[in-house]
Amino acid sequence: MIGCLSIILMSCDLSETAVPDADSSKNSTIQEDSADYVWNESDVIPITLADKASAIAGTGASISGNVITITQPGTYSLTGMLSNGQVIVNSNDSGLVRLLLKGVNITTATSAPVYIKKATKVIIVLTDYSKNYLTDGSSYVYDNATEEEPNATLFSKENLTIYGNGALTVTGKFNDGISSKDGLIIRGGTLNVTAADDGIRGKDYLYAAGSDITVNSVGDGLKSDKEDDSARGYVIIDSGTFNITSGSDGISAKTNLTINDGTFNITSGKGSNYTISSDASAKGLKGLTSLTIKNGTFNINSSDDCLHSNGSLSIANGSMTLSSGDDGMHAPTAITINDGDITIAKSYEGIESKLITVNTGTINVTASNDAINATAGTTAGGTEQNDGSYLYIKGGTLIASCANGDAIDSNGNIVMTGGTVLAHGPTSQPEEAVDFNGSFIMNGGFFIGAGPNTNMIKSSSTASSQSNLSVYFSGTSGNGGFSGGGSTSGSSLSAGTLFHLQDASGNNLVTFKPARAYSYILFSSSALKTGSTYSIYTGGSCTGILNNGLYTGGTYSNGTLKKSVTLSTSSTVNTVSL
């Protein structure tokens, strides 16, 4: 952390100039120094803005009509209004230009109201309680036609920082709202940005902390898009509140998107009920190289993936409510969930990656195709061959529900060593509660799944160390491990019909209420013991607490005893037909 500075601020407002809580380890990456946020009030050069009557009380800047040009490093305070004017920073000298906005309202018909053309670095300070407004027109006359610059309401060709406790409203009618062609730091303040294209853009990087940001954009909300440089094009968010409505991606990074904390309310591409074109992108959060979430509160409603990476996705913690017109989470290399409270309320595929690892947390997934899909990618014509993908469940609680696809699907393998899994399968074949092309190794945890009549029924593999039980109703039968061998005669039990299993002493092992009609149950628990006898009931009622189909506590009664079965002493796989 940056320590206190041994400097006397002669007549300075400390609330404006206090050193922020910056991580010094980032200073070599983002262009930031503790001295950026400290100035001496006696050195400030006041600039008063007024149509054809602007005034400068000092040196370092000049006036031509309604255009104020700052040509030297220093600290300048700006107040007043320009109805068709501009503030330009064009300093050839080495040093920091600091602009203190103390209540400005600048409108420019054909260019950027604030245009940072040249400087070592510029910091815009939103002073306490100030309200500041920048508005452009719907067409520009470029200062540099070759580069089409400037092209944003607040435009910088240099590293730019926005800092303070005041407010800034940016209305971008031409293109972007706020844009830096180098790095952009937003540290504090209340920003309200409307943009004809992207809301806030830092080309090399975008870093945000402690801000309250609202963006309404036709393009991306927040982005960094440096091409051909793996060390840049990233977004880091440490904290803040972000309310984003975007036509394209909510927050997008060309390389890595890292969120350490914050509150995020994002609607992208008109939300999950809207279908975008195949060549468009309207993700909620997108980090093309990686997406890392360490904490935060997320409410994302996107017509495309809610969380997306072309590489890996990692979630350490956080609270998430996701609704997607496509995937809830998508990353082809790996998705790792270490903790968190995650609800994917709507999706085509809930969580999709080649390697999916759930270590702990509560994950509740609803999908129209596969709720959980471990896959190495789509093979033309489909395949039932093991593609090397893996789903690892090591802890936590996973609820997977799918109306038309598999609740849990791995084109490769499933390994469960801990946690709780509730799989609510579809109503009709050939989809299943659990589908896999390799093996399903059950070495720990609590698993129960319900699915429909199908000749593709699978239970856990014989290599499992924990006993499991496959129960087939209505004339169905399974082969105890891999696809094929089942009969589809008979009718299913209706949705909500309880499945209950108890031991010889009447102790409850599970009371489950499937969300849809079902004809088989897959169950495994450490409570299942080889050589022990268990009774299977259906129907009835339970006085316990119902959570996502699973009852805890209470008393089960009035069910119908279907069969008592004794578990094998020679195999962990046990199959019973009713």
Identify whether residues 381 and 429 lie together within a single domain.
yes
Identify whether residues 331 and 248 lie together within a single domain.
yes
CA dist 328 → 74, 256, 295, 340 (Å): 48, 19, 17, 15
Instruction: Return the biggest CA–CA distance within the chain.
Output: 95
**Per-residue confidence in pLDDT tens, the chain, 578 aa:** 333 332 223 233 333 333 344 443 343 467 788 889 999 999 999 999 999 999 999 999 999 999 999 999 999 999 999 999 999 999 999 999 999 999 999 999 999 999 999 999 999 999 999 999 999 999 999 999 999 999 999 999 999 999 999 999 999 999 999 999 999 999 999 999 999 999 999 999 999 999 999 999 999 999 999 888 888 999 999 999 999 999 999 999 999 999 999 999 999 999 999 999 889 999 999 999 999 999 999 999 999 999 999 999 999 999 999 999 999 999 999 999 999 999 999 999 999 999 999 999 999 999 999 999 999 986 544 556 899 999 999 999 999 999 888 999 999 999 999 999 999 999 877 778 999 999 999 999 999 999 987 656 677 888 999 999 999 986 544 433 333 333 334 468 999 999 999 999 999 999 999 999 999 999 999 999 999 999 999 999 999 999 999 999 999 999 999 999 999 999 999 999 88
Range of the domain at 301: 198-343
Identify whether residues 328 and 356 lie together within a single domain.
no
Parallel, antiparallel or unpaired: strands 67-70 and 61-64: antiparallel
Helix spans in 345-471 (H): none
In a domain, 138, yes or no: yes
Identify whether residues 337 and 390 lie together within a single domain.
no
Identify whether residues 328 and 354 lie together within a single domain.
no
In a domain, 547, yes or no: yes
In a domain, 324, yes or no: yes
Identify whether residues 503 and 531 lie together within a single domain.
yes
CA dist 114 → 84, 98, 224 (Å): 12, 13, 20
Cβ-based neighbours of 359, under 8 Å, separated by 6 or more: 336, 337, 338, 339, 394, 395, 396
Identify whether residues 203 and 113 lie together within a single domain.
no
In a domain, 176, yes or no: no
Identify whether residues 392 and 452 lie together within a single domain.
yes
Name which of 498, 398, 490 is nearest 452 in CA terms.
490
Cβ-based neighbours of 377, under 8 Å, separated by 6 or more: 332, 354, 387
Instruction: Quickly tell me which residue has 């902390």 as its tokens.
Output: 209
Identify whether residues 147 and 231 lie together within a single domain.
no
Out of 105, 128, 156, pick the residue that ends a domain.
156
Structure tokens at 431: 């989809």
In a domain, 187, yes or no: no
Identify whether residues 139 and 237 lie together within a single domain.
no
Name which of 134, 124, 135, 225 is nearest 182 in CA terms.
225
Q: Exposed, middle or buried: residue 74 (CB in 10 Å: 0-12, 13-18, 19+)?
A: buried
Three-class DSSP category at 321: strand
In a domain, 148, yes or no: yes
| CA–CA distance, 212 with 149 (Å, rounded to integer) | 28
CB 243 within 8 A of CB 221: no
- pTM of the prediction? 0.92
DSSP state of 348: S
| CA–CA distance, 331 with 282 (Å, rounded to integer) | 15
pLDDT score, position 379: 54
Out of 131, 156, 181, pick the residue that ends a domain.
156
Instruction: Quickly tell me which residue has 């909510």 as its tokens.
Output: 250
Identify whether residues 291 and 367 lie together within a single domain.
no
Q: Where are the beta strands (DSSP E) in 238-383?
A: 240-246, 251-253, 256-259, 263-268, 285-287, 290-293, 297-302, 307-308, 312-315, 319-324, 327-330, 334-337, 341-346, 349-353, 355-358, 362-367, 372-374
| Number of domains forming the structure of the chain | 3
| CA–CA distance, 376 with 389 (Å, rounded to integer) | 6
CA 260 to chain centre: 12
| CA–CA distance, 81 with 562 (Å, rounded to integer) | 82
CA dihedral 37, 40, 41, 42 (to 10 degrees): -160
Identify whether residues 371 and 337 lie together within a single domain.
no
In a domain, 571, yes or no: yes
In a domain, 568, yes or no: yes
Out of 343, 369, 390, pick the residue that ends a domain.
343
Question: Which uninterrupted H or E stretch holds 489?
Answer: none
